[in-house]
Amino acid sequence: MARGRFILLEGCDRAGKSTQCAMLVAALKEKGHSVELCKFPDRTTTIGQMIHAYLTNAKELDDRAIHLLFSANRWEAMQSMKRKLKGGTHLVVDRYAYSGVAFSTAKGLDLTWCKNPDKGLVRPDLTFFLDLPTTEAEKRGGFGEERYENRELQERVREVFLQLKGKEWVMIDARETVQSMHHRILKEAEENIRVGELDGRFAE
Ligand code: TMP
Ligand code: MG
């Protein structure tokens, strides 16, 4: 059986990642795939609750301490994610280590230091970057509710994201309509799944 694909959606706040993740999961399910949604930060765990308290300004934490908590929140999901991928389930993931590095570096931490704790995490097979100018993000509902949602930081975050961008990233203009973004993302994801199935067959 072919391994499941790890499909990641990244981007700044309010770019529409969660909407697109939900639509992608639903569309792939409809086409008969085994697929699950993962979201980082996962606020349901003990570590996730500490992160939530920090993001909602209920708790203060040192910049490095919160960075490590975000990373630990990914590590605590690793065994289960690996098991699912091995079992042939595709994972659609809403934010991951790129967010971890982009936000903490934008706050002023050293880039290499920020990358280190995530070394060894399972890697995405396909990464979409939903790109939205900060001036557009600000106009969207809910912007400003959480700690990092301010223009200066978001602009720096976007710059670091673009610095981290790899050749394999698929850039999505998040000013497009929800449907047109969805069509593009679904098409690329299905193509990636097809390639994965072929690879799996050759490997046997
Ligand atoms: P969310 O809005 O997708 O739930 O993410 C909450 C905030 O946490 C968002 O501003 C991005 C930030 N973040 C980090 O700073 N580091 C991380 O590792 C992750 C996953 C998110
Ligand atoms: Mg948010």
Domain boundaries, the chain: 6-203
Right CATH for 6-203 from 3.30.2130.10, 1.50.10.10, 3.40.50.300, 3.40.50.720: 3.40.50.300
Can you give the pLDDT of all 204 residues of the chain as single tens digits? 799 999 999 999 999 999 999 999 999 999 999 999 999 999 999 999 999 999 999 999 999 999 999 999 999 999 999 999 999 999 999 999 999 999 999 999 999 999 999 999 999 999 999 999 999 999 998 899 999 999 999 999 999 999 999 999 999 999 999 999 999 999 999 999 999 888 877 765
- Residue 171 phi/psi, 5-degree rounding, is -85, 130
pLDDT at residue number 169: 97
pLDDT at residue number 153: 97
pLDDT at residue number 200: 78
Question: How far is 8 from 169, CA to CA, in rounded Å?
Answer: 10
Please tell me the number of the ligand nearest to residue 99's CA: 1
Is the ipTM, as predicted for this complex, more than 0.90? yes
Closest by CA to 87, choosing from 202, 195, 193, 3, is 3
Question: How far is 34 from 55, CA to CA, in rounded Å?
Answer: 32
pLDDT at residue number 203: 64
Distance between Cα 73 and ligand 2 center (Å): 16
Distance between Cα 198 and ligand 1 center (Å): 34
State the pairing for strand pair 90-94/126-131.
Answer: unpaired
